[in-house]
Amino acid sequence: MKVLLRNPRRELEIAGPISVIALLNRLELNRESVLVIQGDELIPGDAMLDDTQTIEIRPVISGGAA
Amino acid sequence: MKCRVCRGPAVIDVRRQNANYCRDHFLRMCRDQVAKAIDQFDMLKPGERVLVAVSGGKDSLACWHILRELGYEADGFVIGLGIGEYSDESTQYARAFANERGWKLHEVSLRNDFGFDIPTAAKATNRVPCSACGLSKRHLFDEAAREHGYDVVATGHNLDDECAVLFGNVLRWQTDYLGRQLPVLPERNGFPRKVKPLVRLGEREMAAYCVLAGIDYIVEECPMAAGNKHLGYKEALNAIEAESPGSKHDFYFGFLKRASERFVGEAEDEQRDLIPCTNCGAPTTGELCAFCKLVDRSSGYEPVVLRERR
């Protein structure tokens, strides 16, 4: 599957099937810090992803120090 | 995963609540949490005019959206900070959001209206950009509320923001800041009331709210904030949260319940003896307020050109 990552924007190719949680673990991403999105839909942590999918892993942490 | 409310398919988990939600019940939970915060901390009264500080990011747009959904008379205010393409894009998101809904958005540009921008101010003052940015925002939000007759300024600070600030203030025992770190700052000495309606919701929830409510927001991070301490604190707190869900909520609300009152006196000392700035009239301790000093130092400085992204 295609995985789009942000900040910086980049694309990875990951072999499926794999669960969302396993994918985040493999990429060493904290579940609290990202959303997994396909189109306009959120993909829950227990969903299985296959090779045909294109997903975005969107960081949710933002903000200045002021 | 099943929705806690309707047992239908869930789209998101909120681990600190030990709950999963479908789209509709997640959006409702977010609105309920904001209504609860408003009620819990006496943030807003019916009929008050609210000015929402908008950046084009997820938190401020979600805050504006939820306040409107809850029936409040809320308009937006956006500042062109002049941080290269990032600021232009952020402002576009804020404009598009307001235009699509026919909601009023006030705009100010640091470069056009005051002759400087954040990268230039950072260089001119030799301080971190977030310092000049925060100072400018606080001043201009207050000024806009006074000028346009709003009772209160609402910001999109969420639970993660408040936890990260609290963490930083505790690390250095900045007791005057701890005394001011409240979800509501009452109106006084010429400053409008300031409220943070999102304090009961985390950053991940606000991003999810925007996706599920169809709100387009700028996902890219501010290039000047990259690598700052605040983001580092958030990552550290999320590492704790992943191991022990609910830690951030307990940290912040435990502080409000058990500790914050102890520091209020120190913050009040700083609020005494304020006089109007001789240039703009904003309350300040000296002749010129900090914002007017920033304008003085930065507006004559050669503009700093940021490298374009990507």
Contact A26, A3 (CB under 8 A): no
Instruction: Give me the pLDDT at residue B271, please.
Output: 63
Query: Mind listing the pLDDT tens digit for each residue in B127-136?
Result: 889 999 999 9
The residues near B216 (Cβ < 8 Å, ≥ 6 apart) are: B93, B96, B97, B210
Percent of chain B whose predicted confidence (pLDDT) is above 90: 84
Candidate from B101-110, B146-155, B299-308 with smallest mean pLDDT? B299-308
Query: Mind listing the pLDDT tens digit for each residue in B234-268?
Result: 999 999 999 999 999 999 999 999 999 999 887 77
Contact B90, B56 (CB under 8 A): yes
Q: What is the C-alpha separation between B115 and B37, in angstroms, rounded? A: 38
Instruction: Say if domain B25-299 classifies as CATH 2.60.220.30.
Output: no
Q: What is the C-alpha separation between B2 and B9, in angstroms, rounded? A: 5
**A65 Cβ under 8 Å from any chain B Cβ:** yes
| pLDDT, mean of residues B116-129 | 93
Confidence of residue B33 (pLDDT cuts 50, 70, 90): very high
| pLDDT, mean of residues B32-45 | 97
**A28 Cβ under 8 Å from any chain B Cβ:** no
Provide, as residue numbers in chain A, all residues whose Cβ is less than 8 Å from the Cβ of B228.
64-65
Q: Determine how β-strand B49-54 pairs with β-strand B73-80.
A: parallel
Instruction: Give me the pLDDT at residue B172, please.
Output: 95
Instruction: Give me the pLDDT at residue B310, please.
Output: 47
Confidence of residue B194 (pLDDT cuts 50, 70, 90): very high
In a mutational test of the B interface, the residue from A11, A25, A40, A61 whose CB has the highest number of chain B CBs within 10 Å is A61
Closest Cα of chain A to B227: distance in Å? Answer: 10
Confidence of residue A7 (pLDDT cuts 50, 70, 90): confident
- Count Cβ atoms within 10 A of the Cβ of residue B90 and give its class: 0-12 exposed, 13-18 middle, 19 or more buried: buried
How far does Cα B16 stand from its chain's mean position? 22
Instruction: Give me the pLDDT at residue B269, please.
Output: 65
Closest Cα of chain A to B231: distance in Å? Answer: 7
Across the interface, whether the CB atoms of B238 and A41 are under 8 A apart is answered no
Give the DSSP per-residue string, B127-184: S-HHHHHHHHHHHHHHHHHHHHT-SEEE----HHHHHHHHHHHHHTT-HHHHHH--SE
End-to-end alpha carbon distance in chain B: 38
Confidence of residue A66 (pLDDT cuts 50, 70, 90): very low
Query: Mind listing the pLDDT tens digit for each residue in B146-188?
Result: 999 999 999 999 999 999 999 999 999 999 999 999 999 999 8
Phi, psi of B262 (to 5 degrees): -65, -20
Domain ranges of chain B: 25-299
Query: Mind listing the pLDDT tens digit for each residue in B46-58?
Result: 899 999 999 999 9
| pLDDT, mean of residues B221-234 | 88
The residues near A63 (Cβ < 8 Å, ≥ 6 apart) are: B161, B164, B225, B230, B231, B234
Element (H, E) at B250: helix B247-258
Please report how many Cα atoms fall inside a 13 Å half-sphere around the Cα of residue B44, on the Cβ side.
Answer: 28
pLDDT of B69 strictly over 50: yes
ipTM: 0.94
Q: Set out the domains of chain A in order of their start, with CATH numbers.
A: 2-59 (3.10.20.30)
CB-nearest to B134 from A43, A45, A64 is A64
CB-nearest to A32 from B12, B168, B238 is B238
pLDDT of B307 strictly over 90: no
Instruction: Give me the pLDDT at residue B264, please.
Output: 86
SS3 assignment, position B21 = strand
| pLDDT, mean of residues B283-304 | 92
Across the interface, whether the CB atoms of B130 and A65 are under 8 A apart is answered yes
Element (H, E) at B296: helix B290-299
The residues near B182 (Cβ < 8 Å, ≥ 6 apart) are: B41, B256, B260
Length of chain A: 66
Q: Determine how β-strand A41-42 pairs with β-strand A48-49.
A: unpaired
pLDDT of B86 strictly over 70: yes
Instruction: Give me the pLDDT at residue A29, please.
Output: 94
Closest Cα of chain A to B265: distance in Å? Answer: 22
**A54 Cβ under 8 Å from any chain B Cβ:** no
pLDDT of B68 strictly over 60: yes
| pLDDT, mean of residues B9-23 | 96
pLDDT of B189 strictly over 50: yes
Candidate from A6-10, B174-178, B202-206 with smallest mean pLDDT? A6-10
In a mutational test of the A interface, the residue from B17, B21, B221 whose CB has the highest number of chain A CBs within 10 Å is B221
Query: Mind listing the pLDDT tens digit for each residue in A25-58?
Result: 999 999 999 999 998 899 999 999 999 999 999 9
**A48 Cβ under 8 Å from any chain B Cβ:** no
Contact B241, B248 (CB under 8 A): yes
Confidence of residue A64 (pLDDT cuts 50, 70, 90): low
How far does Cα B73 stand from its chain's mean position? 19
CB-nearest to B242 from A31, A40, A46 is A31
Instruction: Give me the pLDDT at residue B114, please.
Output: 96
User: Which spans in B10-128 are helix H?
Assistant: 23-40, 58-69, 84-101, 118-125
Structure tokens at B226: 């990259």
| pLDDT, mean of residues A16-23 | 94
Residues facing residue A38 across a β-bridge? A41
In a mutational test of the A interface, the residue from B155, B180, B219 whose CB has the highest number of chain A CBs within 10 Å is B219
Q: Is the pTM of this model over 0.90?
A: yes
Tell me, what amino acid is at B307? R
Structure tokens at B13: 């988990």
